[in-house]
A and B are shown apart, each in its own frame.
Chain A
Amino acid sequence: MKNEYDVIVVGGGPAGSMAARFAAEQGASVLMMEKDRDIGYPVRCGEAVSKAGIEEFIEPNEVFISTIIDKFGMISPDGTEVVIPLEQIGYILERRVFDYELAKQAASYGAEIVTRAYVNGLIIENGKVCGVKYEYKGEQLELRAKVVIAADGVESRIGRWAGIKTHIDFRDMESCTQVTAANIDVDPNTLLFYFGKDVAPEGYFWIFPKRNKSANIGLGVSGAIGKKKSSQAYLNKFMDEHYPNAPVLTRIAGGVPSSITLEKISAPGIILVGDAARQVNPLSGGGIVSGMIGGKIGGTIVGEAIKQNNLNHILTYDKAWASRLGKRHEIFNRIKNGIYNFSDEQFNSIAHAVSKVPMEKRSLGNLFKTALLNKPSLLLDIAKVFLIK
């Protein structure tokens, strides 16, 4: 480790690794600090991505791909199941390996990485962030940098210490629980979504198939629902009813910040990327690819600022993010709010209408139209958004 870096990235998830890579690619000296022992573990994720989304960053490789997705399935509250072929394919990842590969990619561009380094403060001088305070092997230490990139996930605090408002409304926090279970007999290439107030009010319940008949099974509920009944209670009920004897390989809790991006994602000497900046697609809850995009845009701008010796350049990041995805997320967020108000009857009638369309004529497009006819809402973007770059 050096005594000082051009860039310190806090957090070793997809957003952090991509920020580190793209800053290093511009010639900056970069250190990525991760609080946990391992990069990529624990996995708190359903692991669904679009092929097009990850291809911008990494060649798809079977070491980190569990299954290939080519269908979208919707189960309405009355149990009607409709399956729709997808025009573009997606994957269920092995994020444990995927996150590792991304970190290795950052390293191959020259970024250094340290794990078990818990950042617990910022060095701030004359209103500018100049480095981090951190705990490492029981010692409290400091490390200076020209720019800090906060990629510290849903639990982000780094931005707050720089005076940015980063906490989100509890109603926008999708509090998730998920199990990865074995012996789950579902189609290995279909993303399955359950809707309705009994399974997942104001959200959706998912079964994402993984290799060898295992699957990620979980849901997210908004804090408004969590106030009355926890995410865990919904998951337990579903498992008891559908898979009472399935061996559970992993059980996790996790949060998806399902809101629009923070109002401000840069300040002197610091930018925020990924979940820390609330860059998750608020409709699908997908944050892997959007976080990587945030990391790429942010890392590149920070790298350029170092190269040009013009640190003010980092403040152009907010705009660059807004025009690539931030604006679109505002629309998705409105759609999400519309879907949250769908009644069980509306979900049922959409499913019934689509089930009358012959399989070869089904597409997300016409499912979408059916949803629109039912209510001017954009329900099926839930599937589509996983396919947006």
Chain B
Amino acid sequence: MLLIEILPNKCDFCGCCVGVCPEDAIELKEAEIKIDETLCTNCSKCVWACPIEVLKFNKEKLGNRKII
């Protein structure tokens, strides 16, 4: 399950997240960003690299499930 959330209308399309993503899970066009949930491992590296707090690791989405 994808736990990385892209906050709407905030992205500047700068590419920091793509540059650090080990799974090549992020697709970035001129003004469009998407995370491929079949590739993403929720490692959060993109969250730490984003200069303007667009990406968020969404714990709530987990509910009371655990990541194994």
User: Which chain A residues have a beta carbon within 8 Å of chain B's beta carbons?
Assistant: 35-37, 44, 116, 118, 120, 153-157, 160, 167-170, 173, 175-177, 221, 223-224, 226-227, 230-233, 252-255, 257
Contact = CB atoms under 8 A, between A and B. Distances in A.
B29 A255 contact: no
Contacts of B15: 153-155, 254-255
Nearest to B27: A120
B13 to A, nearest CB: 8
B29 A177 contact: no
B53 interface: yes
B52 A232 contact: yes
B62 interface: no
A175 B14 CA distance: 9
Contacts of B53: 230, 232-233
B45 A157 contact: no
Contacts of A233: 53
A223 B20 contact: yes
A167 B16 contact: no
Contact of B16 (A118, A169, A255): A255
Contacts of A175: 16, 49-51
Contact of B12 (A153, A230, A252, A257): A252
Given A226-B48, A226-B50, 14 more contacts: A36-B30, A44-B14, A153-B15, A155-B19, A170-B45, A173-B16, A175-B16, A175-B51, A177-B52, A223-B20, A227-B48, A230-B51, A232-B52, A254-B51
Interface of B: 12, 14-16, 18-22, 24, 27-30, 45, 48-53
Given A167-B20, A173-B20, A255-B14, A226 B51 contact: yes
13 contacts: A36-B30, A154-B15, A157-B18, A160-B24, A167-B21, A167-B22, A173-B16, A175-B51, A224-B48, A231-B52, A253-B12, A253-B14, A255-B16
B34 to A, nearest CB: 12
Contacts of A170: 20, 45, 48-49
Contact of A231 (B20, B22, B45, B51): B51
Nearest to A218: B51
B19 A118 contact: no
Contacts of B12: 252-253
Contacts of A120: 27
A218 B58 CA distance: 29
Contacts of A35: 29-30
> A120, A156, A177, A230 — which one has the most chain B CB atoms within 10 A of its CB?
A230
B17 to A, nearest CB: 8
Given A160-B24, A226-B51, A230-B53, A254 B18 contact: no
> B29, B50, B51 — which one has the most chain A CB atoms within 10 A of its CB?
B51
Contacts of A168: 19-20
Smallest CB-CB A-B distances: 4 pairs: A155-B15, A255-B16, A231-B51, A175-B51
Contacts of A36: 30
Contacts of A227: 48
A44 B48 CA distance: 19
Given A153-B15, A167-B19, A173-B16, A255 B49 contact: yes
Contacts of B49: 170, 173, 175, 223, 226, 255
Contacts of A177: 51-52
B51 A255 contact: yes
A233 B14 CA distance: 17
Given A223-B20, A257-B19, A118 B48 contact: no
B14 A156 contact: no
A252 B14 CA distance: 8
A223 B29 contact: no
A83 B58 CA distance: 46
